Structure 1
Amino acid sequence: MADVKKIATRDSYGNTLKELAAEGHDDLVVLDADLAAATKTGMFQKAYPDRHFDCGIAEGNMVGVAAGLAAMGYVPFVSSFAMFAAGRAFEQVRNSVGYPHLNVKIGATHGGISVGEDGASHQCCEDFALMRSIPGMTVICPADDIEARAAVRAAYAMEGPVYLRFGRLAVPVFHDEANYHFELGKGEQLTEGNDIAIIATGLMVNEARMAAEQLAAEGIHARVINIHTIKPLDEEIVIKAAKECGKVITAEEHNVIGGLGEAVCAVLSEKQPTPVRRVGVQDVFGCSGPAWDLLKKFGLDAATICKTAHEMLGK
């Protein structure tokens, strides 16, 4: 996997917005909060300056402007760091977008611990929990460039509010574009196996794939499932994995409270009681440092997934 091309999903976001506009989608507009270079909406701004609005460091106001544009028939993509898009502007997202169920898309970059040197104040590990709690909000966290591009297109095509989380860190591109099909609300099984299921989202999907390779070398066959749409969750694939594997690990670059792990536990506790262990940020704040070092420090890696599998299987 060392030779695999790596691309940050924030780049995928900026590129796809520009592609959609070039394809004649004249209702698409982009809003940013003084971070166009970092969120990569600067690509769109350069090509379509009349359809890009820099609202300054006023994220709540930006969401309100987007709500107004959506009410006029436009499809606005609101862009900022996850900490500001989901955190600082939560009230406006809830009341101005979620409550009237407006067609606003939130492109939140720099999610999770992998923001790295920016530190705890910018490492948003609460955004899934916040956005999942808003009725009618679709929550997406793509795993690589190909999936991220497809997710942006799917968000544009659907009616209603969408939260998309993108990363700062360049991550491996493991999907084959020619054979990949993205469907909102549908998980993707990446490996065969009935010994244990690993259900992952975002950059943790590739870590799950690497963990499965290591486990396979030890004679443990892990089923890896990619959940790009955290809400609505693909309950069918989760329940099937629980029934056939008997034990489940969830893996996410998010607090174990309120994210994918809790979504999976909620479904299984009601419909298929199954032992579950949650790999994620263990209810702590992050800290500043190189992204890959931090992911290892906080247990967001293949080694931690393997260790968890061994513990669950008694090996």
Structure 2
Amino acid sequence: MNKIPNRQAICEVLMEKAKDDKDIVVLCSDSRGSASLTPFAEAFPEQFVEVGIAEQDLVGISAGLAKCGKKPFAASPACFLSTRSYEQAKVDCAYSNTNVTLIGISGGISYGALGMSHHSAQDIAAMTAIPNMRVYIPSDRFQTKYLIEALLKDEKPSYVRVGRNAVEDVYTEENCPFEMDKATVLTEGTDVAIIACGEMVKPAYDAAKNLKEQGISATVVDMYCLKPLDKEAIINAAKNVKAVVTVEEHAPFGGLGAMVSQVVSAECPKKVINMALPDAPVITGTSKEVFNHYGLNAEGIVKTVKENL
């Protein structure tokens, strides 16, 4: 079982690249520990900025550093980064087209028992609504590594959401197909297409294996890039199946399900079922307990598929 969370994978990439690239700057809002960025702060103190609990300043300062030629990575809990500093993300980063990577840590319902104030079930909808802002939710540590390496090579604003806990590997070090802004097709089938993002990709993949044993053929798509959305991958997955199921750690409005529904209805009309968190404060519990309660697991995906075919 993997014990390396995606946030740690981000730190490892940044530390490796910062040895030779002094323009890389990491900023935190009193969150270096929860972001797994303490090793970076200790190894590269001159390339680290502690802003304190001031998310708006975090984003504004990052944008200023980017305009000075730096490559800032601003880390803060996703629940605060996508709400408290929304205007700064919109204006200072996206509208001003600054080279800022916003890292929303402990995304989704990672904070578990801390409740709705600490959950970020709205960030896909909020961030994808900002013109010129890209949005990514990698599914495991290997994909996270490739994503951060790719973001270091461009100069566009982006928002990256990662969870708090280590997640099961979807890929391996030797086999992690990655193309920037292109979804990854994990399996191809003819009965149902399951399109998932973030921590929901592994349950979707496991569900497909279970369904195969029951004679149901499933395509599984890892849609780590929510914006720009890989419409071609959606169309290719949907056009030859009977139904499409989307799975996301997000509210039912404005997220992956809504975006997939728009594409499918316009290009190849099929039934689309959106599996998501409810439009309500979620129950108290660990991430796994919450996912199990709402059927956002392999068993729940299998049940939903069978009910809708």
TM-score, normalised via structure 1 length = 0.95
Task: Identify which of 180, 185, 189 aligns with 2:181.
Answer: 185
Structure 2 unpaired stretches of 5+: none
- Amino acid in structure 2 at the alignment position of 1:18: M
Task: Identify which of 246, 250, 254 aligns with 2:250.
Answer: 254
Instruction: Supply the distance in 1 between the matched residues of 2:226 and 2:37 (Cα, whole angstroms).
Output: 24
- 1:264-289 deviations in Å (ceiling 9; x for gaps): 11111222211100011121222431
Superposition pairs of residues 1-315 of structure 1, within 5 angstroms? 4-22=1-19, 24-313=20-309
- 1:65-110 deviations in Å (ceiling 9; x for gaps): 0111011011100100001111111011111111111110001110
Whether the 8 Å contact between 1:120 and 1:288 is mirrored in structure 2 is no
Instruction: Supply the distance in 1 between the matched residues of 2:37 and 2:9 (Cα, whole angstroms).
Output: 10
State the SS of the aligned residue for 1:194: coil
- 1:187-233 deviations in Å (ceiling 9; x for gaps): 11111211100000001000001111111111111111111111111
Of all paired residues, the percent bearing the same amino acid is 39
Shift of 1:169: 1.7
Shift of 1:148: 0.7
Shift of 1:6: 4.0
State the SS of the aligned residue for 2:11: helix
Whether the 8 Å contact between 1:128 and 1:259 is mirrored in structure 2 is yes
Instruction: Supply the distance in 2 between the matched residues of 1:166 and 1:114 (Cα, whole angstroms).
Output: 9
Instruction: Supply the distance in 2 between the matched residues of 1:90 and 1:201 (Cα, whole angstroms).
Output: 22
Instruction: Supply the distance in 2 between the matched residues of 1:258 and 1:43 (Cα, whole angstroms).
Output: 36
Whether the 8 Å contact between 1:7 and 1:144 is mirrored in structure 2 is no
Whether the 8 Å contact between 1:103 and 1:160 is mirrored in structure 2 is yes
Whether the 8 Å contact between 2:74 and 2:103 is mirrored in structure 1 is yes
- Amino acid in structure 1 at the alignment position of 2:72: P
Shift of 1:294: 1.2
Whether the 8 Å contact between 1:75 and 1:103 is mirrored in structure 2 is yes
State the SS of the aligned residue for 2:82: helix
State the SS of the aligned residue for 2:208: helix
Whether the 8 Å contact between 2:170 and 2:201 is mirrored in structure 1 is no
Aligned length: 309
Structure 1 unpaired stretches of 5+: none
Instruction: Supply the distance in 2 between the matched residues of 1:14 and 1:119 (Cα, whole angstroms).
Output: 27
